[in-house]
Every structure is written in C-alpha cells, then in structure tokens.
Amino acid sequence: MTSFSSLMAEQKLLPIIQADTVEQGLNIARAMSLAGIKLVEVVLRTSASIDVLKAIKQEFPELIVGAGTVITPTILDKAVEAQADFIVTPTISVKLLDCLSSCGLPVLPGVSNAADIILAYEYGYRELKLFPASLSGGCAFLSAMSSIFQDISFCPTGGINAKNQYEYLALNNIFAVGGTWVADKNWVVNENWSQITQACQEALQPA
C-alpha cells in the first residue's frame, strides 16, 4: 500500500477544499493547481461534496484528489465509488478502522489523544492526522508523543494557519500540515480565487 506521505511527495501542505457547489469546488481546485498544488482533500461535509470530488478528478486529472471527513462505512463506500485517491478521517473507531483497513486506498486516520494513537498503531498505521490540532495539545503534545511513538509521523489539522504552520513543520515527527486557511470561506463566497492561489503559494514556501 502506498503511504500517505509518499502521495504528497515534497508538498508540505494538505489543502482542504470545502465547497457548497461543484462550480465552487472546481474554482478552488483550479486556484490551488495554479499555485503548484499537486494533492488536495475534498471534505465530505456538504450534499455536493461527492459530486465536487468527481468533478475535480475529471477536470484536473493531474491532481491527486482525496476524500476527507470520512466518519462512517457508508461515507467511505461513497468515497471509494467516487474514485477518491486517498481517505482522511477526523477521528477513529474500531468499526471504522476495520473498514478502512480493507478499503484498498491510502488512509490518514484522525487522532486527538494518546489512546487514539495506540489504537491506530495497533491497526498498522504509522502516519496520522492530529485533529483538532490546536485543541489537542498542539506542538507541545506532538513533541511529547515523539519520544513515545518514535516511528509515527503526523499531519496536524485544525487551528493551523499561515503564522503557526512553520512551528509545526519544525517538529521532527511532522510530515505536513493541513488546513482551510488557504481557501478562506470569504474568498470563496466573494469568488476571490487569486487570493487562494496566493495563499497556497505562500504556504508552499520553505520556512
């Protein structure tokens, strides 16, 4: 199975697309692609999300497009049927992990505490999403976990922004950061697509 970090390659930003319509989703994806983004996560939080994912994959075949906010086996099945390239969850359960283990796609399971981490670890996962990062101990928590789970790396999401992303990326157990700050809701509503491109370009810059 391909690891999640290898899908991301050199990209240290996991940009999140949340769209109410297919048109919005395509415009966000286009703006991100113009910035040099190669991989995006479409969160399945709206009724249009699955259609957004399908449309982005069709319109931008060069993009790696995954499904986020996968919290049930039913949502997972829909994401797989939509040909998502990877799966991201905000949290985990034994039932969900059982389904994820057999879905055949790279998975980034979400954790928020040490108990979650050990459960995901027991299922063989060595790359995890910390969510919501800012409310789950942030950098201090991740730093503490590095000595306990020495072979686990994280992609923190939730509360990450342009100002603190490099603080997270400086930790030795972080392979990327995720967030919605590069596609601010106001920019989407106002169709300010160039601002999304600029924010993504800035986020891709090394510290």
pLDDT in tens, 6-61: 999 999 999 999 999 999 999 999 999 999 999 999 999 999 999 999 999 999 99
Residue 74's pLDDT band, with cuts at 50, 70 and 90, is very high
Residue 185's pLDDT band, with cuts at 50, 70 and 90, is very high
Phi and psi angles of residue 116, each rounded to the nearest 5 degrees, phi first? -60, -45
**Within-domain flag for 135:** yes
**Within-domain flag for 70:** yes
**Within-domain flag for 4:** no
**Within-domain flag for 95:** yes
**Within-domain flag for 91:** yes
CATH number at residue 168: 3.20.20.70
For residue 112, the model assigns a pLDDT of 98
Catalytic residues: 41, 129
Q: How many domains does the chain have?
A: 1
**Within-domain flag for 43:** yes
**Within-domain flag for 77:** yes
Residue 207: pLDDT above 80? no
**What is the domain extent for residue 129?**
12-204
**Within-domain flag for 16:** yes
Average pLDDT, integer, range 149-156: 98
For residue 2, the model assigns a pLDDT of 83
Q: pTM of the predicted model, to two decimals?
A: 0.97
Residue 206's pLDDT band, with cuts at 50, 70 and 90, is confident
